[in-house]
A and B are shown apart, each in its own frame.
Chain A
Amino acid sequence: MHRDEIPPGTLYLLILKTLARSGEMHGYEIANSIQRLSDDVLQVEEGSLYPALQRMLIKGWVTGEWGTTAGNRRARYYQLTPAGRKQLAVETSQFERVVGAITRVIEAM
């Protein structure tokens, strides 16, 4: 199947939404979850996930707690904060506004 890169500017939205849906996850689980929920269409550029998560930690949108995976490996589990939940609403409405605008342009042609 052809996979597409995640559109620029939407990585925060996808991470926030994934964490809102699933509670806590480590980076690998977040990448897999986005790919799976998009029916394998969206592929996270995996390396770019971690700088994005670091920025989100700094902004206070997520917290990161170290825990143990099912395979007994140490991993940092990310969880949404109340500020992250607010940001999710902001990012979602921004995305919908842009998609709506693009759709109107396409349909007008």
Chain B
Amino acid sequence: MNWLRELARRLSMLLHSRRFDAELEEEMRLHVELREQEHLASGMNADDARAAARRRFGNATYLKEEPHRLGLGVVRARNTGCQLRYAGDAAQSRHYVGRVAFARPRYRRKHRDLQPDGCGHAQITARQAARPAGFVW
């Protein structure tokens, strides 16, 4: 029953999403700071060390959102039934990427090609998930 435990962990993260986000951010910040210190110790000046550490880490904002795109946060739907169904999809599909909400006219216009499900959401592809943040969770 590994998938059940996985589902429970996903739901727990959903319920504690604020704490989860704060912890992820703390980890990432520590990583960049430690890399920056390493560059400083090797003789780089402060500005270059900071820039090099950030460059090597990549886009922190995007990466912080990625776990949500990959199924941690996509279960945020309007009712519990939808939540459980989405969490189940995410737990069972390796290709699960995310969903867009169709309740808002802006999303309906942006994703005309997609068909919403009964919960007012539609599964999206990796390419669609790469559209600017704010359309996907």
Residue positions of A touching B, CB distance < 8 A: 26-28, 31, 45-51, 54-55, 57-60, 66, 69, 73-76, 83
Contacts and interface: CB of A to CB of B under 8 A. Distances in A.
Contacts of B13: 58
Given A46-B58, A50-B24, A83-B2, A28 B31 contact: yes
B31 A46 contact: yes
Contact of A51 (B6, B23, B26, B63): B63
Interface string B41-77: 0000000000000001111100100110011100000
A30 B6 CA distance: 24
B129 to A, nearest CB: 13
18 contacts: A26-B27, A27-B27, A45-B58, A47-B28, A48-B58, A50-B63, A51-B66, A51-B67, A51-B70, A57-B9, A58-B13, A59-B6, A60-B9, A73-B30, A73-B33, A74-B30, A75-B27, A76-B27
- Chain B's interface size range is 20 to 34
A58 B58 CA distance: 23
